Amino acid sequence: MMYWFFDKTQANSNADSLLNNDMDRRKFVTHTTLAAAGILASGNLSAFAIKNDEMLMNQNQKYRPLSTSGLGGVAAGNGFHENPDKDVNEALAAAWNSGVRYYDTSPWYGLGLSERRFGHFLRNQKREEFTLSTKVGRVLTGDKDFELKDGLWKGKLNFKYHYDYSAAGIRRSIEDSLQRLGLPYLDIVYIHDISPDNGDMKENWVKYFDEALKGAMPELTKMRKEGIIKAWGMGVNTIEPAVKAIEQADPDIILSATQYSLIKHEDALNKLFPVCEKSGVSVVVGAALNAGFLAGVDRYDYSGKFPEGVKEKLAKLTAIAKKHNTDLRTAALQFSAAPKFVSAVIPGAWNAGQATANAESFSAVIPAAFWDDLKSQKLIAANAPTPVKK
């Protein structure tokens, strides 16, 4: 898979104008493509990376982030452990200096802390030069004594939350996020965590989905038409809610976490991606490293439990990586970015070294024999796309 590097500032300026004038979204896509192609022809190149086979030439293609390499905001919310402001800011700076132009956060991450930290850094960058996404569904209110027992977020929180997927709740959530970020607008908004793995919802997730179907989804579509946001989608850790949203509404993009990695990918490959192909919706891959598991951290995803067989599979993957002198973390990130339906991968980082290493992984060369070995030993699906650097 080839990666082109080009300056999308001109293309985005034109796109913003088209959106604000309520031009048909298909014309918006076409116009953006032509602008980008013109920039490539002129030789005005910079550090914005997209896949050459995904340059919005498909008229069915919807909004995509500026760069395939992104940065997720869990660590900035003190996910798993407390991280000093200085380290998080250095991680953001390192990502930016490495060409990362997609940043994803959420009110849920540290109950506002991640958004505040992201905004503190990003407010000093040119707004048209990066893609920013956040999420809706949880509304925060001040509470100096609030604690999450055995929760993901560490340190003092100062806020509590309640769920609200109504139209009014979504408007308030977006307004609150913009205040925390200190930025004038959002590019992507994800409806967050309406999923059976959400411990607050479990089997009742469908009730929340129905609320969002009547409230959040039409409101976000309206805000997209108004030009307040450029795109919306679902941000979930399971397949069914994402497919359900694509079938019943008009999302642009899906943030699918924990579903497409070297460890686990068959359901996304066979159930989610075909629906995305039909609709023009792209996928942002979250937790491509299974929350650090594929980078050597002794944890798996967000639940604290190791599913049966994952440690044995990791050992086999590690042995093959060693055989081919390949960094497994790098291979995991490239694997998650390989499908044409994937528009970005957003690993987290809480220090500069991690952020730089993750960004550099997307341009590293991995021998084809490595992928051949994984398929021959049935460690990845036979129909799983693998990176091809030309």
- The secondary structure of 322-358 as a DSSP string is HHTT--HHHHHHHHHH-STTEEEE--B-SSHHHHHHH
Closest CA to 169 of 113, 201, 208, 118: 208
The DSSP line for 91-135 is: HHHHHHHTT--EEE--TTTTTTHHHHHHHHHHTTS-GGGSEEEEE
- Distance from C-alpha of 375 to C-alpha of 373, rounded to nearest angstrom: 5
Strands 138-142 and 159-163: antiparallel
Catalytic residues: 109
Q: What is residue 204's DSSP assignment?
A: G
For 5, phi then psi, to 5°, come to -120, 120
Q: Is the dihedral of CA 177, 182, 185, 186 positive or negative?
A: negative
Rounded-to-integer distance, Cα 208 and Cα 131, Å: 28
- Taken as a whole, the chain contains a residue count of 390
**Angle, alpha carbons 12-43-63 (nearest 5°):** 25
